[in-house]
């Protein structure tokens, strides 16, 4: 637990901080493991169905260009942890698109909490203002998200 905290928390790692982050890390780890297991099962089932069906080589299967990275998931859990006292954590969801990783309130794309773009050479955190125009903030690492805690809380409170 202390190892994980060193990457996401800059303060002193006392028992209170460890107790605060333990459920979040457990859920993140569980979600990560479930995702891996589901991918393995899906790929195994896909192989079975491919063997049963004679493949028609003239049909092209569209390949999704959306790839959710570990950094995006980590950023999601950081933001979820920052907003835990403001809004219920189960109402904070993520949605990945080709151009950005969105964090939404109640899975509603009209209620964005922020967007994250880690695919470019300059990592970006985009925070909406009252008119939902996004301010682009360049960050060096995921730990920089903690600097914008108050702004993220302000955005989340608008949807309550």
Model pTM score: 0.59
Reduce the secondary structure of 115-130 to three states and give it as a string. Answer: EEECCCCCEEEEEECC
DSSP-assigned beta bridge partners for residue 134: 128
Tens of pLDDT, residues 84-123: 989 999 999 999 988 899 999 999 999 999 999 987 788 9
What pLDDT is recorded for position 28?
85
Q: Which residue has the tokens 């189960």?
A: 90
- pLDDT of 158 over the 80 cut: yes
Q: Which of 5-19, 31-45, 142-156 tops mean pLDDT?
A: 142-156
Which of these, 117, 97, 93, 95, lies nearest to 105 by C-alpha position? Answer: 93
* Between 146 and 48, residue with greater pLDDT: 146
Which tokens is 74 given?
């980590």
Tens of pLDDT, residues 2-24: 777 777 777 788 888 888 888 88
Tens of pLDDT, residues 43-61: 888 876 666 665 555 556 6
- Percentage, residues of the chain above pLDDT 90: 42
What pLDDT is recorded for position 122?
87
């Amino acid at each position: 637990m202390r190892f994980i905290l060193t990457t996401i928390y800059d303060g002193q790692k006392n028992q209170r901080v460890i107790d605060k982050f333990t459920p979040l890390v457990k859920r993140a780890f569980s979600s990560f493991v479930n995702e891996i297991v589901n991918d393995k099962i899906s790929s195994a089932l896909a192989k079975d169905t491919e063997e049963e069906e004679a493949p028609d080589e003239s049909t092209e299967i569209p390949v999704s260009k959306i790839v959710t990275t570990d950094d995006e998931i980590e950023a999601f859990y950081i933001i979820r942890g920052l907003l835990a006292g403001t809004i219920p954590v189960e109402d904070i969801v993520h949605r990945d698109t080709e151009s950005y990783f969105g964090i939404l309130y109640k899975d509603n794309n009209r209620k964005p909490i922020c967007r994250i773009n880690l695919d470019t050479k300059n990592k970006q955190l985009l925070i909406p203002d009252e008119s939902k125009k996004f301010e682009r903030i360049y960050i060096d690492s995921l730990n920089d998200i903690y600097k914008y805690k108050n702004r993220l809380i302000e955005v989340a409170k608008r949807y309550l």
